[in-house]
Chain A
Amino acid sequence: MSRGNQSWLMGAWLFITGLLSSSAWADTQLNLTKGVTAVSREVYDLHMLVLYICTAIGIVVFGAMFWSMFFHRKSKGAKAADFHESTKVEILWTAIPIVILIAMAVPATSTLIDMENNDDSEVTIQITGSQWKWHYKYFDQNIEYYSVLSTPREEYENQNGSFAGNGNAKNDNYLLEVDKPLVIPANKKVRFLITSDDVIHSWWIPAFAVKQDANPGFINEAWTNVDIPGVYRGQCAELCGKDHGFMPIVVEVKSPEDYEVWLNEQHALTAQAADAEKASLSTSISKEELMQLGEATYMAHCAACHQPTGLGLPPTFPALKGSVVATQGSIADHISFVQNGKGMMPPFGKQLSLKEIAAVVTYERNAWGNDTGDIVQSSDVKAASEE
């Protein structure tokens, strides 16, 4: 081996070891998760069974090929044999795979029948996907809320083209964290009714082996029964537009006792929110406070499409800066846009409080040089929605 070759190899080796040591390989997962439900463990076992069978077949087939490549090569003086057909052999290697396939199909069928048995659930939750968040509604509980990505924008938006380091610092649950996770009880059969408000999404938690598409206008069923309390994370699995990569799913599994406590807390919070909503109708909020709340609400709910700069991403997502709706149009129309949506724009009336809508409309009419000077109060929003 020449000297040039050696230094080249050395360089490659340094490069590879550099890559290896620079990264935290301990966190890297190679195989499917076993998960935390009886079904997910069955699925894992099935996965391993097929993997072993495929590996065994691979060893035999590739082994025969490599044997040929080493021992039946012309350079070693191999003379080609003359055989080129055999019905017996063909029947044999048709029949054996069929037997192997049946051996796989039997456990697969029984697992599938388990997965599709949605009877006898104790808790039912409706899951609705929309661009790009999840909505959870507990049946018989008067609890419902949206769950959106809580990773701050500055953690993922490092578009300075710099590859030095890892860009901006990222926390451990980067892109897999939400403001309000779904909460379910352990050791109870929980049924999910899954649908969508706009395009197709797919609700997936690997640890439960549940992945079910959310189809607009149709309801799909899935269920789980988790043994171990904890926090489990997943992501939307069906391409659903621009922020498909930014709508994670987090499920917090609580012991049945803790779950009851949580339910009571939620009922109390719902009542509080209703009171605050009422109170906000009779108070007048300062412009500074409205602008502050408005900016926060805008960043959380509007900036994904209309962008923090208000410039949007035309033509799909129009600009608000200098737009007719946010400057010349009537305040009532502006409120109606936010509350009821239009075309691709989703309705926010259910997601935001009157005060938040008032704040966000105020913000949009005064930010980015829109300077209309308009101030919108909760009572205006209420009045507009009753028209």
Chain B
Amino acid sequence: MTTETINESLDDSHNDDHHDHKMTGMKRWLYTTNHKDIGTLYLWFAFIMFLTGGALAMVIRIELFQPGLQIVEPDFFNQLTTVHGLIMVFGAIMPAFTGFANWMVPMMIGAPDMALPRMNNWSFWILPFAFAILLGSFFMESGAPNFGWTFYAPLSTTYSNGSTAFFVFAVHIMGISSIMGAINIVVTIMNLRAPGMTYMKMPLFVWTFFITAYLLIAVMPVLAGVVTMLLTDTYFGTSFFDAAGGGDPVMFQHIFWFFGHPEVYIMILPAFGIVSTIIPAFSRKKLFGYSSMVYATSSIALLSFIVWAHHMFTTGMPLFGELFFMYCTMLIAVPTGVKVFNWVATMWRGSLTFETPMLFSIAFVILFTIGGFSGLMLALTPVDFQYHDTYFVVAHFHYVLVTGSLFSIYAGAYFWLPKWTGNMYNESLAKWHFWSSLISVNLLFFPMHFLGLAGMPRRIPDYALQFADFNKWVSIGGFAFGLSQLIFLAVVIKCIKGGDKAPAKPWDGAEGLEWTVASPAPYHTFSTPPKVD
């Protein structure tokens, strides 16, 4: 079916579907097939999960505030770190990006909705069940998963506390949800672009979500496979990962990280898209090197499939394997560097203003780059032997995921809140959110580099005395960062309730089809496709 015929049929159906035509109360949200409603659901769900995962992190930081076992048992501590990781990855960052995709992709390509609206509803509504199962395991006799979010066998099989089945079931549901969401994004972008919008005319935001969706479709089945093998090893007597039955525990890590490394880029490529939209808007200058950005994003995605074993340098790989994965991993620095240079060149000789979306975007570029530097250091196999499984790694991936992905999500939320709600958010409250987050997040994560270099392993509930000072600082930073996020909640609620009315295009430098519709965006947009030249 060509784009044209789809558009025609959608036009027809719209004729008998006057105005908003939505149900009221809970039913509106349960039965909705509207991309904006589903986007909203995803974003709220992600924020609730973010606060839940954050609450777990607060308990971790209280326990680590000073040496000695203070408030939790070591086994429960392991449950906290495990579920914190799972919630933040699968419950906060990924659904937040899917929320952005739902809200913005159709509006940016001039489509009336996502291509598969009923599947869209389903892919969201199975998520709460997945996380109810995962969190519910805290209240079961076995306790929650305690084997780390990476669930290495045989700790998660033969030696598990009995939570493996619930964990596997929850991950399966999350995986199905992600795959459906990704298929929807790919089909929408391929088929519903406005006439005249060729691939190389798509906003970079759309490109990054397009590539991310492909990554998801490629690796989520691998995750499903590995958790199923885990399940049969634990309960049905197979020996995929048990040497005594002819299996290999290291094979688990190969399969897991073959999913896990692309997963890392699933959580950062959309961030690139958001930041590449916001920096040009507040620099009042076109994005520098659009096509090189597209190629860089694609090469990062391709490279992500051949670097997985850099998570496994200490597992006893042969020298050749270590060299191959070291070189490939270092190569990632090239396209990532190109992106950073392009953002800097976009700002260069622009006409800059510093509204909150811009502040978060600039902080993203700087702090994500710091995470990139530590990533480059970790890529070098000989030094990785020292950094591996220490707080240096914890610092690295929190710089990339918190000041990277999360900051981009905040940037995007502030940028599009006027479009979503029809009201301007409170700029000075938002700036409080930014500055308190910026200061506390660095107090929280920067000293972790020192802790790791000094030799503190990750995932320990108690530590030697030389780590005491920095841990105290880190905990204080953690509490401050946690509290700062409540400011964001206040800003959003205020913005939904009222505030200055937003014009269709509140940012004078912004570009894109989403700014051609009114604020708040009408329930149905682009029933007739716009023309792009």
**Cross-chain contact A158 with B155 (CB below 8 angstroms):** no
**Cross-chain contact B352 with A78 (CB below 8 angstroms):** yes
Query: Interface size on A (CB < 8 Å)?
Result: 107
Pairs across A and B, CB under 8 Å, 11 listed = A61-B344, A65-B365, A80-B351, A81-B285, A156-B462, A166-B66, A170-B465, A199-B152, A239-B459, A315-B162, A316-B161
Inside 8 A of B373's CB, which chain A residues have their CB?
54, 57-58
Q: Given A212-B316, A313-B73, answer yes or no on A68-B78 (Cβ-Cβ < 8 Å).
A: no
Q: Which residues of chain A from 1 to 50 have a CB within 8 Å of any chain B CB?
A: 19, 23-25, 27-33, 42-43, 46-47, 50
Closest chain-A Cβ to B426's Cβ sits at a distance in Å of 21
| B-contacting 9-mer, from A111-119, A269-277, A362-370 | A111-119
**Cross-chain contact A218 with B460 (CB below 8 angstroms):** no
**Cross-chain contact B454 with A29 (CB below 8 angstroms):** yes
Closest chain-B Cβ to A319's Cβ sits at a distance in Å of 13
**Contacts A43-B385, A159-B69, A210-B385 known; 13 new A-B pairs at CB < 8 A:** A47-B377, A50-B380, A65-B344, A84-B287, A89-B289, A94-B338, A97-B334, A105-B327, A166-B468, A167-B70, A211-B388, A213-B314, A245-B461
Inside 8 A of B381's CB, which chain A residues have their CB?
108, 112
Inside 8 A of A212's CB, which chain B residues have their CB?
314, 316
Q: Given A23-B472, A168-B68, answer yes or no on A113-B154 (Cβ-Cβ < 8 Å).
A: no
Inside 8 A of A81's CB, which chain B residues have their CB?
285, 348-350
The answer, yes or no, to whether B3 is at the interface (CB within 8 Å) is no
The answer, yes or no, to whether B1 is at the interface (CB within 8 Å) is no
Q: Given A58-B370, A80-B285, A316-B162, answer yes or no on A244-B380 (Cβ-Cβ < 8 Å).
A: no
Q: Given A47-B377, A97-B333, A242-B74, answer yes or no on A163-B65 (Cβ-Cβ < 8 Å).
A: yes
| B-contacting 9-mer, from A171-179, A180-188, A287-295, A333-341 | A171-179
Residue of A nearest to B71 (CB): A161
The answer, yes or no, to whether A381 is at the interface (CB within 8 Å) is no
Closest chain-B Cβ to A8's Cβ sits at a distance in Å of 14
A64-82: contact bitstring with B at CB < 8 Å (1 yes, 0 no)? 1100110011110011111
Residue of A nearest to B455 (CB): A206
Q: Which of the four size classes fits the interface of chain B?
A: 35 or more
A213: contacting residue among B315, B455, B465, CB under 8 A:
B315
Closest chain-B Cβ to A152's Cβ sits at a distance in Å of 12
**Cross-chain contact B292 with A90 (CB below 8 angstroms):** yes
**Cross-chain contact A79 with B465 (CB below 8 angstroms):** no
The answer, yes or no, to whether B40 is at the interface (CB within 8 Å) is no
CA A200 to CA B157, docked complex, whole Å = 12
Name the residue in B340, B369, B457, B459 with the highest tally of chain A Cβ atoms < 10 Å from its Cβ.
Answer: B457
Inside 8 A of A86's CB, which chain B residues have their CB?
289
CA A143 to CA B148, docked complex, whole Å = 36
Q: Given A23-B469, A72-B347, A174-B465, answer yes or no on A90-B289 (Cβ-Cβ < 8 Å).
A: yes
A85: contacting residue among B65, B290, B322, CB under 8 A:
B290
Inside 8 A of A240's CB, which chain B residues have their CB?
155
CA A79 to CA B365, docked complex, whole Å = 23
Q: Which residues of A contact B (CB under 8 A)?
A: 19, 23-25, 27-33, 42-43, 46-47, 50-51, 54, 57-58, 61-62, 64-65, 68-69, 72-75, 78-86, 89-90, 93-94, 97-98, 101, 104-105, 108-109, 111-113, 115-116, 131, 155-159, 161, 163, 166-168, 170, 172-176, 198-200, 202, 204, 206, 209-213, 215-218, 220-221, 234-246, 313-316, 344
| A-contacting 9-mer, from B26-34, B181-189, B244-252 | B244-252
**Cross-chain contact B147 with A83 (CB below 8 angstroms):** no
The answer, yes or no, to whether B286 is at the interface (CB within 8 Å) is yes
**Cross-chain contact A166 with B78 (CB below 8 angstroms):** no
Q: Given A43-B385, A156-B68, answer yes or no on A175-B348 (Cβ-Cβ < 8 Å).
A: no
**Cross-chain contact A61 with B340 (CB below 8 angstroms):** yes
**Cross-chain contact B152 with A200 (CB below 8 angstroms):** yes
